[in-house]
């Protein structure tokens, strides 16, 4: 928070109002519209021609300018207003909502969102900077997460391929040996059958010769 020590010795309401308006880079007309008063009245306040503004004006002006009401009216205390409990709760709810949206979006979606915000003519430079600061970190987090997921998928694919190759190398010889044994087992009965047939044939020839 800023202290009133940085302000001029002539720390009047007129000086404070003009300095803080210029610090916010607002024209008299812009601030008057935000507060809900006329430009001429605001100008008279800043020049010291009008004095003792109403409590309602001070409350609205301090809220719009984001300064504490005691500082704006009397020049005492800190410049920035201390957030109320309601304001803190609203800020918390806002952050929860932004986090929820960001968690459901991909890096590409967040990038497109940032691009559209930066090109929106209805937004001020300050608004664009705000949303860039809000969404930018989430974009970087998503990029890192997606890269990590891709690397894990590649490692898993490589591991699976290696395991399949190893299994093929182990199962291949076993299958070949089994096939050879099976073939050998199938051949032995056939040899026995041919041998019996050959023996029977030779016996028949021998019997014919004796006759």
CB 20 within 8 A of CB 65: yes
pLDDT, residue 33, reads: 92
Taking Cα atoms as reference points, which of 72, 69, 68 lies closest to residue 19?
72
**Torsion angles phi and psi, residue 51, rounded to 5:** -130, 170
Angle 144-150-155 from CA coordinates, rounded to 5°: 125
- Start-to-end Cα distance in the chain: 135
Q: What percent of the chain has pLDDT over 70?
A: 68
Name the CA radius of gyration of the chain, rounded.
45
- pTM of this structure: 0.38
The stretches in the chain having pLDDT less than 50 are 1-9, 186
Q: Residues 92-151: pLDDT tens digits? A: 777 788 888 888 888 899 889 888 888 888 888 878 888 888 888 888 888 888 888 888
pLDDT, residue 203, reads: 61
Residue 22 makes CB contacts below 8 A (sequence gap 6+) with: none
Token representation of residue 121:
């003519």
Residue 110, Cα to own-chain centre: how many angstroms?
7
Helices 107-119, 125-210: inter-axial angle, 10-degree rounding: 150
Residue 44 makes CB contacts below 8 A (sequence gap 6+) with: 50
């Amino acid at each position: 928070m800023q202290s009133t020590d940085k302000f001029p010795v002539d720390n009047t309401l007129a000086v404070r109002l003009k300095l803080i308006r210029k610090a916010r880079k607002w024209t008299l007309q812009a601030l008057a519209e935000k507060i809900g008063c006329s430009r001429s009245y605001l100008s008279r306040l800043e020049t010291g021609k009008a004095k003792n503004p109403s409590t309602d004006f001070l409350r609205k002006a301090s809220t719009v300018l984001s300064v504490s009401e005691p500082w704006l009216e009397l020049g005492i205390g800190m410049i920035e207003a201390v957030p109320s409990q309601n304001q803190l709760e609203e800020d918390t709810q806002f952050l929860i909502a932004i986090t929820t949206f960001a968690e459901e979006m991909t890096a590409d979606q967040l990038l497109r969102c940032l691009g559209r915000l930066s090109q929106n003519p209805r937004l001020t430079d300050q608004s664009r900077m705000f949303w860039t600061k809000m969404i930018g970190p989430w974009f970087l987090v998503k990029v890192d997460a997606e890269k990590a997921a891709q690397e894990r998928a590649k490692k898993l694919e490589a591991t699976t391929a290696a395991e399949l190759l190893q299994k093929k190398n182990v199962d291949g010889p076993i299958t070949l040996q089994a096939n050879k044994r099976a073939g050998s087992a199938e051949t032995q009965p056939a040899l026995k059958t041919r041998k019996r047939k050959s023996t029977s044939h030779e016996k028949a020839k021998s019997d014919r010769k004796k006759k």
